[in-house]
A = this chain, B = another copy of it.
Amino acid sequence: MTPDLIAAARDRLAGHARVTPLLSSPFLDEIAGRRVLVKAECLQHTGSFKYRGARSAISALDPETRARGICAASSGNHAQGIALAAREMGVPAVILMPSDAPQIKLDNTRAYGAEIVTYDRATQDRDALMLELEAERGMTLVRPYDDPQVIAGQGTCGLEIAEQAQAMGVERAEVLVCCGGGGLTSGIAVALSQAAPDFTVRPVEPEGFDDTRRSQASGQREINPAQSGSLCDAILTPSPGKLTFPLIQEHCGPGLVISDSEALQAMALAMLRLKLVIEPGGAAALAAALFRGNDLSEETVIVTASGGNCDARLLARALELLQK
């Protein structure tokens, strides 16, 4: 995984992925006690950064392989990214999704034109089902993070961060990234290692699901004791990826954690102050910037607002925090 691969992904994504804005609010700066810049990936196609990696991976395939179709397993945002990118490129996509995924993510994935196969998280083995799909249909599996071209696609977000922040006069910063399997985190970290070496990437995870932070500390891939139980569903993964973890070890500073209630508060403040809708997992980095300032050291912090695919009920719950 090298900066070259990210530069090539950027060329393939040009004119397709959105260059999302880097936003700010003096009200958030005041809460954080430092300058906070927000990379609004919730405004990316399909409502999350996942479109970048999906389009990067599908566009990197040779045409013959691509034409046989794409399959993927995902609880949501990766599924939507794959579905849209596949449709744009005119190839079929089959997505394996847990039957208890948020309804909006199931509906959206279907609306983007993918075929959905659901499975029961408790009783069925996702990986075995996926191998069956690959073998039966001859499709190419695109993994959500352990794929060099997916990581390269997510890394294009890092190139934009470097350019946008530097244009604002930022020379040093901590870059907080909402971290599940580590595709976005490692992609941004590799991109910045060349494009902005004085920016330090730090993963942010929900309390109790800090596999990456613990893995950074122990030097080996740690596994979370539970696989569900946080509002931040988009970034719950059992452990950092095989490909992503060594990149995180090499390039990232120590991880941070936030609570569900801090994620909800960050969602509420994003609506009020940035005019952005962010889902809980996509609000983790902003929550760390706002509420975990004691763990930060730079005067400028850049956060990814990684996704915004959120049920109305949960948005309403976040808004209640503003009405007290």
Tell me if A7 counts as interface (CB < 8 A to partner B): no
- Contact status B26-A111, CB under 8 Å: yes
Cβ contacts A to B, 13 pairs, < 8 Å:
A18-B23, A21-B43, A27-B108, A27-B111, A40-B43, A47-B275, A271-B315, A275-B276, A276-B276, A277-B277, A313-B323, A315-B315, A316-B323
Q: Which residues of B contact A42 (CB under 8 A)?
A: 275
Tell me if A319 counts as interface (CB < 8 A to partner B): yes
How large, as a class, is the contact surface on chain A? Answer: 20 to 34
- As a 0/1 sequence over residues 291 to 321 of chain A, the CB contacts with chain B under 8 angstroms (1 = contact) are 0000000000000000010001101100110
Tell me if A272 counts as interface (CB < 8 A to partner B): yes
Tell me if A215 counts as interface (CB < 8 A to partner B): no
- Contact status A319-B312, CB under 8 Å: yes
State the oligomeric state as a number of copies: 2
If A23-B43, A26-B112, A316-B316 touch, does A275 touch B277 (CB 8 Å cutoff)? yes
Q: Which residues of B contact A322 (CB under 8 A)?
A: 312
**Which single member of B19, B112, B275, B316 contacts A278 (CB below 8 Å)?**
B275
Distance between Cα atoms of A277 and B273 in the complex (Å):
10
Q: Which residues of B contact A43 (CB under 8 A)?
A: 21, 23, 40, 274-276
Q: Which residue of B lies closest to A42 (CB)?
A: B275
Tell me if A59 counts as interface (CB < 8 A to partner B): no
The smallest beta-carbon distance between A201 and chain B, in angstroms, is 24
Q: Which residues of B contact A224 (CB under 8 A)?
A: none
Q: Which residue of B lies closest to A107 (CB)?
A: B27
Distance between Cα atoms of A43 and B42 in the complex (Å):
13
Tell me if A20 counts as interface (CB < 8 A to partner B): yes
Q: Which residues of B contact A315 (CB under 8 A)?
A: 271, 315, 319
Q: Which residues of B contact A271 (CB under 8 A)?
A: 277, 312, 315
Q: A19-B21, A40-B43, A313-B323 are in contact. List 13 more A-B contacts (CB 8 A).
A: A18-B21, A18-B23, A20-B21, A27-B111, A40-B275, A43-B274, A104-B272, A268-B312, A272-B312, A275-B277, A275-B278, A277-B277, A315-B319
